[in-house]
Structure formats: structure tokens, C-alpha cells
Copies of this chain bind each other. A is one copy, B any other.
Amino acid sequence: MTTDANRSGEIDPPARLMMGPGPINAYPRVLRAMSAQLLGQFDREFTDLMNETMALYRGVFRTSNRQTFLIDGTARAGIEAALVSLIEPGDRVLVPIFGRFGHLLVEIAGRCDAEVHTLETDWGTIFDQDRLAAAVDRVQPKLLAVCHGDTSTTMAQPLDRIGRHCRDCGVLVYVDSTATLGGMALPADDWALDVVSAGLQKCLGGPSGSAPITVSDRAAAVIRGRRHVEQGLAGPGAGPGPRPETGLRIRSNYFDLAMLMDYWGGERLNHHTESGTMLYGARECARLVLEEGLEARCRRHEIAGRALRAGLGAMGLALYGDPDHRMANVTGIWIPDGVDGEAVRGRMIRDFSIEIGTSFGPLKGRIWRIGTMGYNAARPPVLTTLAALGACLAAEGARIDPVAAIPAAAAVFERLPGEAPP
């Protein structure tokens, strides 16, 4: 048993430039917001902040959905809350898999005892939306569950048409936008997406631990059909009290979106104790997005990713995956033959305190992943990373041109934002 408090000192993390697939450096404003003192969860000052946060995320998700709020957990908590609240055992769910996070959707839907149907495509490619629509027509699922950007492959699935098709067919659509929200366009209402969830630790530039989510009215109606009031909350004068049980009870209490709607709504029915600190952080992330403007922010991510790729190409490195469907904010790079990818990553940390990403599953040891998002979607982090990577590759004996990267990347930033290539 270790009880020696002196073993671990004051928190004092080294200064890292975090250029992996996330988490990345949080905006200093977000960290400052999170150092504010707490409030009681039913304090009017706190519920006002909750309401403001809902309104802010409506802007971030580009939606008018009343049911737009936070799940107290990481991005994965948002995914599970959506799936477990929508899926009843035996429901048909269609999951297009183009990387690890498609498998995660399958895994979670499977644990909900859904009848899961999958489509697969090679890692590094995406699905044509006509293929998705045909699969929806064939399978006739209750729910289509799909990732927007899958950081495992650095690909972004186009979703601008499939939602409308599903709506026409009476199929619900869930989108995992963990890795893209606030960095790539994802207008939930225009694209007719029913439930979209995210995390803070990618383009939103906060810590993981809070999952913004939005739920369309039609999805909310499905979920409300499964509403049950918690035992122990009812009683004389307890407000709305228990309502008749209707649909099959949601298998999770913590992730029961019907209860969470009652907690975030006017009812304020007690559920978990909302994390004040994470709420402060999530709220500040959204304020940063809307102050910059969603379009300007997406353009900034696009330019930063393009600059990184220009630099990598000029250095002589080959990029991974379908060039027409890359995420703006995470880039995959083939590790050159004869180079030990982990040795390069180790050198980046040791000599420059810069983190770049390794990869999962079939790509492990074959590609690096470099993120350019949130606070780090800017010229200094991108150029610094390229300079450091060039030096580390040269030190490891790779045959690349470390000098050419910087002017190639800088040239992309030097175009005025309005002149960025389409």
C-alpha cells in the first residue's frame, strides 16, 4: 500500500506541443475558465450557464435542436449515450466501417444487442453516399450510425446527402463527430442528422471529459418513448413524479438521454451532478468557436492541414489515404522504408517536446498521424513540427529533404484566407 503523499509532487506537466490526433494543447482561455470556483448544480447562476452552453452548442452544431447539451464523460460517453438511448435489443443498425471508430460503433451497438449490419471499405478510403443510400434501402435499419472523421485512417466521410435520404425513409442517423466538430463543416440541420456527438479534445481545443451532443426532435420523441423516472425521486411534493412507463427502459441510467433531457430541461429533475469544471471548459470552447465564426474556423483548419501536407510532400514524404477525402485536421504519413517510426517519435519528444501520433490496428508501425487542430491549427505549430520532423528524420538517416518543407508550408499560409484554394 502506498500512502506516501510525498511520492508525487505538484502538478507540473512539461510544455509539449501536441501535434497528434488528439488530445492537443487546450486553449489557454479554456484552462483559465476551468479554474473558476464551482457552483451548486441547481443554483440559478449555474443553470443559467447550462442554458447558455446549450445555446452556444446549437451554434456549433448548426442546429435549432432544443435538446443540445453535454454528457459528463469523454467523447466515447457521448457515442454510448446516443446508441444505448436509441437502440432497443433486436433493432437493426447499419454501420459503415472505414476505420477503427466504425468498429467501435459496431461494438457498442452490439453491446446494446442490436442486429448490426456493416459495410466495410479499405482503410484509407470512404463510402460513396449512393452506396450508403443503397445499403439503407436494402437493410432498412432503424438507425444508421457513422463516423464523420475517423482519426485512425484520417479520412472524412461525406455526409451532406445521406441524412436527407434517411429522413425520407424514416431511418434515424447518428454521427460521431468527435474528431471534426469545430474544425470541419457539419451542419446538423442542413444535413438532416438526428443525433451528433463530439468531444472537446480535438478541434474544439479543450480537455477530454465532456461530450457535446445534439438530438433532433424526432430522435428525442423516440427516446422520450422510453422515459422512466428514477426510483427514489418521487414523493410528496416531488414535482412531476413518476409517469407511466412506456417503451422499453434504456439499459443505462447514466447514459439515459430521456433523463438527461429532464435534467437539462425546465424540469431540472435530479440525475448526476453536472461537472461544473467541465461545463466551464465546454462553454469556453464553444465561445471560442463562435467568436471566430464557424466558417473562418473551418477555413483555418483547412489551411493548416494543407500547409502541413505541402511541407511533408516537399520533404519527400508520402501521404496516406484517399487525397480527396482527407480530414482537414489529421494527416497520415507513410513511415519511409528503413525508418523506425517509434525512434522518430521518441526523438521528437526528447529533442523538441513535440508529440506526433502513432496508429492502430492494421496501420500500426506503418503511418504517423499529425494533427493540426484547435489552438494548434496555426502557422507556428505547423512550421515548428515540420522543422523538427525534418531534423529527426535526417538524424535517423532517412533520405528526405528537410530544408524544402518550411517554404512550401509557409507559402500556403501566406495566401490570404479569402484566397485559400477551394
**Residues of A in contact with B (beta carbons under 8 Å apart):** 1-5, 7-8, 10-16, 18, 20, 22-26, 31-41, 43, 45-46, 49, 52-53, 55-56, 58-59, 62-64, 72-77, 80, 84, 99-104, 106-108, 110-112, 152, 189, 199, 201, 207-209, 230-238, 249-255, 270-278, 280-281, 283-284, 287, 290-291, 349, 355, 360-365
- The answer on a CB contact under 8 Å between A52 and B8 is yes
Could you say which of B20, B201, B231 contacts A107, with CB atoms under 8 Å apart?
A: B231
Assuming the contacts A62-B1, A208-B274, A232-B100, asked whether A111 and B250 have C-beta atoms less than 8 A apart, the reply is: yes
- The answer on a CB contact under 8 Å between A52 and B209 is no
Query: Min CB distance, A354 to chain B, in Å?
Result: 11
Residues of B within 8 A of A23 (CB): 38-41, 273, 276
- The answer on a CB contact under 8 Å between B3 and A58 is yes
Query: Min CB distance, A284 to chain B, in Å?
Result: 7
Residues of B within 8 A of A108 (CB): 253
Residues of B within 8 A of A253 (CB): 76, 80, 104, 107-108, 111
8 contacts between A and B (CB under 8 A): A8-B53, A12-B36, A13-B49, A16-B40, A18-B39, A23-B38, A38-B201, A107-B230
Assuming the contacts A2-B55, A8-B283, asked whether A364 and B236 have C-beta atoms less than 8 A apart, the reply is: yes
- The answer on a CB contact under 8 Å between A56 and B5 is yes
* Distance A72 CA – B272 CA, assembled complex (angstroms): 13
- The answer on a CB contact under 8 Å between B63 and A276 is no
* Distance A10 CA – B73 CA, assembled complex (angstroms): 23
- The answer on a CB contact under 8 Å between A231 and B291 is no
Could you say which of B52, B62, B208, B278 contacts A273, with CB atoms under 8 Å apart?
A: B208
Residues of B within 8 A of A104 (CB): 230-232, 253
Residues of B within 8 A of A290 (CB): 3-5
Q: Which B-chain residue is minimally distant from A46 (CB atoms)?
A: B13
Residues of B within 8 A of A32 (CB): 35
Q: Which B-chain residue is minimally distant from A60 (CB atoms)?
A: B3
- The answer on a CB contact under 8 Å between A2 and B59 is yes
Q: Which B-chain residue is minimally distant from A205 (CB atoms)?
A: B38
Assuming the contacts A2-B58, A8-B56, asked whether A361 and B273 have C-beta atoms less than 8 A apart, the reply is: no
Could you say which of B36, B75, B236 contacts A31, with CB atoms under 8 Å apart?
A: B36
Query: Min CB distance, A306 to chain B, in Å?
Result: 24
Further pairs besides A23-B276, A76-B254, A235-B361: 19, Cβ < 8 Å: A3-B58, A3-B290, A8-B52, A8-B287, A11-B280, A13-B38, A31-B277, A38-B201, A72-B74, A77-B254, A80-B252, A99-B232, A101-B232, A102-B232, A104-B253, A207-B276, A208-B275, A236-B362, A275-B278
- The answer on a CB contact under 8 Å between B251 and A111 is yes
